[in-house]
């Protein structure tokens, strides 16, 4: 991720901070070395990585940290347009003409990509990690459940909480976001965001000119689905 994509303005976060100025929003320290993460979260990750090195013999690397609303919208629009691959759980790419309806296309993208404004990566508290070892940089469930990262999977299960993290997308569900064992959330900060990101707040933002310029593709089709998208692809199961 380039410096520009981290530093660029994030209209959604600005919109929320105007209403909730007490939220952690010191992104000024953001640099490529922090991946746009809040300082406390980045430091906790470094400690976790050191512990991993002690136990498993390798450090951890961050594949993705903070992602702005604008960046997430670009990813979303590129997937709709077929400019960016849409993959299934094994990393197989769906052919462009696979989807028979926009409804089907929308819900398949949502398995793996958050709808812009509903990504936990907006907050500076969430990150995707991999072992810092040579090899392809891919995020595929099989690697964690029956492949090379099973040890890391078990290590995280045992140690994450000690470092202030949890994994929000760990359960296999037939709908909603697919399991992402590589996605870590720094609880102290993430909980503050979880508490204030409501359906009404998100919808208010998505109707602003800033949110829709450039437009979110298929927004007319998506809008009536938003209550269900919000509850199934954003709210965490208790």
Q: Using CB positions, name the residue nearest to Zn ion.
A: 183
Contacts of residue 111, defined as CB under 8 A and 6 or more positions apart, other chains included, come to 177, 178
Applying the rule CB under 5 A, the residues between 18 and 77 that interact with Zn ion are none
- Please give the sequence-ordered ranges of beta strands (E in DSSP) within 77-205, or none if there are none: 126-131, 165-166, 183-186
**C-alpha pair distances (Å), 154 with each of 148, 158, 237:** 12, 6, 22
Number of Cβ within 10 Å of residue 143's Cβ equals 21
Smaller CB separation from Zn ion, 30 or 119 = 119
Burial class (CB in 10 A: 0-12, 13-18, 19+), 5: middle
Nearest to 113 by CA among 217, 32, 237, 4: 217
Work out how close the CB of 172 gets to Zn ion at its nearest, in angstroms, rounded to a whole number. 16
In this structure, are residues 18 and 12 in contact, taking their beta carbons and an 8 Å threshold?
Answer: no
Determine the Cα–Cα distance for residues 60 and 222; give it in Å rounded to an integer: 37
Work out how close the CB of 128 gets to Zn ion at its nearest, in angstroms, rounded to a whole number. 4
In this structure, are residues 49 and 108 in contact, taking their beta carbons and an 8 Å threshold?
Answer: no
Binding residue for Zn ion, selected from 43, 128, 151, 194, defined by CB under 5 A: 128
Work out how close the CB of 75 gets to Zn ion at its nearest, in angstroms, rounded to a whole number. 12
Interface segment toward Zn ion; rule CB under 5 A; list 4-12, 88-96, 124-132, 200-208: 124-132
Interface segment toward Zn ion; rule CB under 5 A; list 139-147, 180-188, 190-198, 201-209: 180-188
Smaller CB separation from Zn ion, 128 or 194 = 128
183 in contact with Zn ion (CB under 5 A): yes
Interface segment toward Zn ion; rule CB under 5 A; list 16-24, 182-190, 191-199, 202-210: 182-190
Smaller CB separation from Zn ion, 43 or 180 = 180
Smaller CB separation from Zn ion, 70 or 128 = 128
Interface segment toward Zn ion; rule CB under 5 A; list 38-46, 123-131, 170-178, 205-213: 123-131
Contact residues: Zn ion, CB under 5 A: 128, 183
């Amino acid at each position: 991720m380039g410096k520009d994509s981290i530093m660029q303005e994030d209209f959604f976060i600005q919109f929320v901070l105007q209403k909730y100025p007490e939220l952690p929003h010191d992104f000024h320290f953001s640099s490529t070395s922090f991946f746009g993460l809040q300082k406390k979260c980045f430091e906790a990750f470094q400690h976790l990585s050191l512990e991993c090195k002690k136990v498993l013999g390798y450090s951890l690397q961050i594949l993705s940290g903070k992602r702005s609303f604008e960046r997430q919208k670009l990813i979303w629009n590129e997937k709709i347009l077929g400019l960016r691959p849409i993959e299934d759980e094994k990393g197989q790419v769906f052919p462009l003409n696979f989807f028979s309806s926009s409804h089907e296309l929308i819900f398949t993208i949502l398995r793996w990509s958050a709808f812009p404004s509903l990504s936990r990566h907006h907050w500076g508290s969430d990150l995707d990690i991999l072992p810092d070892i040579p090899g392809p940089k891919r995020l595929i469930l099989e690697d964690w459940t029956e492949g090379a990262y099973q040890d890391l999977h078990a290590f995280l299960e045992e140690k994450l909480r000690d470092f202030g993290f949890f994994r929000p997308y760990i359960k296999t569900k037939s709908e909603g976001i697919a399991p992402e064992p590589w996605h870590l959330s720094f609880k102290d900060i993430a909980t503050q965001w979880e508490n204030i990101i409501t359906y009404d707040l998100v919808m208010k933002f998505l109707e602003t000119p800033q949110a829709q310029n450039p437009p979110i593709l298929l927004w007319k089709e998506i809008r009536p689905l938003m209550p269900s998208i919000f509850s199934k692809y954003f709210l965490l199961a208790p």
